[in-house]
Chain A
Amino acid sequence: MIDLIHTYWLYFLVGQYPQGPLGGVALTVLLAGFALLLSMPFGLAMGLARTSGRRALRWPATGLVYLVRGIPLLLVVFWTYFFLPSVTGHKTDQFNTMLIALVVFDSVYLGEIVRAGIQGVPSGQYESARALGLGHGRAMRSVILPQALRSMLPSLVNQFVSTIKATSLGYIIGLTDTSFIATQINTQVFTKAPQVYLLLSLTYFILCFGLSRFAFALERRLGRRTSSPSPAAAAGPAA
């Protein structure tokens, strides 16, 4: 296994780069990173639309959630890969195809997490923000979302971790990500499949574990900065 790593570590990390396209772990990290960064604002928008008082926002968002949630990610990838070019008129490369599919898929799931977070904040918080004269947007930004974020964090990490793993689906459309490279290596070496796939698993595990630890540290820091709401304030309005 040592010589396996010794021979292929660079190929595993960056693919054929710089002679060819970037691939391997670097590509996986880039893809997951961009997908997370882009799906956060979209997810936030989805969550706000889902909890909006306006039907013109709420209904389309709800429709999109039901649609995307009802089909496997694999099909979202296929749709992006095979049908997007026929709409836009030019071929999308594998990286961007995967990125678009992940952002669409994640936005929907993140949107539901955001919605749960918003709805978990006692309604008195929104009411008292509005009673002070804050508009809807300002009440959301300054009062509701900061509190919602705290309870959303564990679910957000879940989704982020599953995004890292979902990048491996790029394999089926020929994206040279970590899984693809590992398979290539396996084909070349041929006799060391368990070792290769153990390394591949370890790689995903390290990425996900790292993110989880980072999120945990963040959660602790947020928890230290403020204390939890008092039982009376959390009890909600009485009759």
Chain B
Amino acid sequence: MIEFNNVNKWYGKYHALIDVSEKIGKGEVVVVCGPSGSGKSTLIRTINRLEAIDSGSITFDGEDIHAPGVDINRLRSRIGFVFQQFNLFPHLTVLRNCTLAPQAVGGLSPAQARDKAMALLERVGLAHKADAWPSELSGGQQQRVAIARALAMAPPLMLFDEPTSALDPEMVGEVLLVMRDLVRDGMTLVVVTHEMGFARDVAHRILFMDQGRILERATPREFFDHPQHPRARQFLADIRTPNTAAD
């Protein structure tokens, strides 16, 4: 479904992604982890071209995302993206947040968009907040709305960029629950996260990144029990030691 071919990206002189090649299949749940600054957020943001790449290519269902002249809006409408900071539109109600793109891009009528949005809000357990403003919701609720908003375009692929990192600890669970629900539905997910419990339970594969490279590709069991790369071992040791785990 997604294919990276020798992708390189620089921020000025900083080499953020180095020769990344990877394939992600339909229905796969891939967790990308690694220390901060390892390039994992950059990697996931190149998939829907929020970040440009400097060389190589990324294809989505065979279409080159970064090719000039590609209809990026059409492609993006098929790739759901959930941000660390939720990024709900504060001047629109919860419902309107979820109907804006389906009407403007998907061409749904207001009634169709509304029905669909309500069904999705129901799914994330927030149908009763449809008429609320984003600022009236807790962080966990905002992120669940953000997921519903992304799902409203019925994308076959969902990307999550540290979806729980900005949340208070007690709200992490409700968001992960919604994500597990998507996994049960067989959706393709790429998730950048520090939630190792989530990774262990639901990921099909784990990609470990450091300094712009994918250093290890493994099943959760292999990765957590027998990490191969020294940097991966170090990373796992760091996040398991409570003193250094705090960020």
A residues with a Cβ closer than 8 A to B are 122, 124-125, 127-135, 138, 142-143, 146-147, 150, 226-230, 232-233, 235-239
Contacts and interface: CB of A to CB of B under 8 A. Distances in A.
| Interface of chain B: mostly helix, strand, loop or mixed | loop
A124 B50 contact: no
Given A233-B85, A233-B134, A132 B90 contact: no
A238 B87 CA distance: 12
25 contacts: A124-B83, A125-B87, A125-B89, A127-B50, A127-B83, A128-B83, A128-B88, A131-B48, A131-B83, A132-B105, A133-B73, A133-B75, A133-B77, A133-B105, A138-B104, A142-B100, A146-B91, A229-B135, A230-B135, A233-B88, A233-B134, A233-B142, A236-B85, A238-B85, A239-B37
Contacts of A239: 36-37
Interface residues of B, number: 40
B50 A134 contact: no
B85 A226 contact: no
Contacts, number: 107
Contacts of B50: 127, 130-131
A132 B139 contact: no
B125 to A, nearest CB: 19
A237 to B, nearest CB: 6
Given A124-B85, A232-B85, A132 B149 contact: yes
Contacts of A135: 73
A239 B85 CA distance: 11
B73 A227 contact: no
B126 to A, nearest CB: 15
